[in-house]
Structure 1
């Protein structure tokens, strides 16, 4: 195993464990993937994050769609939308999926997150869409997620959870954390009469401002 691949495998494990520590998923739910050359590395199915080792991370070829994999354990049951994202988005190198409480509450209600906060621009548009419902692990779900992710780096998944993309694992995890924070703020604002939404121009100006410095430096 090449050093860079070993490093990516360990980084993927670190991201999985961060998901749990940050409260973005529970138990063995949630999954993480990262691009590694011509392959995708993805967390295995039904394996406690604290038990993961680099050798247990599953490898799947990016030029196939038949579920081919290599490793001692099966890939996450959600491998389809991970593969679809990395195949269709050359700008993306990592995918993080979890069941954070507030994102999932909004997803259960099938609500889009509107432009209630300027940081909504961190996800590529002026809202965060909620993908339609289909059974977990299904090709239909992957298609619905892909549609919701058009020109976006995050989405909710109806009656399921949330998904965040990144140029690397650190950025994908950062977006997942930011998404849950905005979901909580939006949820709470609904309880006190609903948010006052920003204008399209407000969000456009935020996009322009983001071009000058890294998103992680935002307040």
Structure 2
């Protein structure tokens, strides 16, 4: 059974009070007995001795009560230097026994972010800036524009991003994993996530139409991991 400081204080107070009352009663009775048994002078001296002894007992009871409170408070952890929740506080302000709070993973580093033109020429997004490919012989380019349809070329997948805010690398990667397709219809407000054939994640933010055969877009490249 665990005793806290409040319980120890109450127990010590009750014990001390009971012993003090007993000592006082014993002292008074002793003083009366001495008064009835001897001369007035002798009985007065004896009564003083009895009273002094009773006071000494009361003082000893008080000291014992304080000792009980102090010992119990140490057992309860009051003087152990621990924090209220049970673990010693370290120099950084955290308890050594407490689990560390989860930390947010750092944002993925952007390899390249600039404007470029989307058109029928395939683009290899595994380069910074994305390299121009060739539709007949290129086996590395990832996507190209065909009218108002953006097509996967040799890239793994692409998908329209539905949110208003720009996605992070992880946002695009998760969307590609669950909704990736081969082609998407685009306009001057479209947002596209693309995964290259080498695993890079790409975000293509279409800004405006550029003539009859292309769009101007802002392209963000992240690494493959």
If the TM-score is normalised by the length of the shorter chain, which range does it land in? under 0.3
- The TM-score normalised by the length of structure 2 is 0.25
TM-score, normalised to structure 1, is: 0.26
Larger Rg over CA atoms: 2
Higher relative contact order (CA 8 A, sep 6+): 1
Would you tell me which structure has more helix in proportion to its own residues? 1
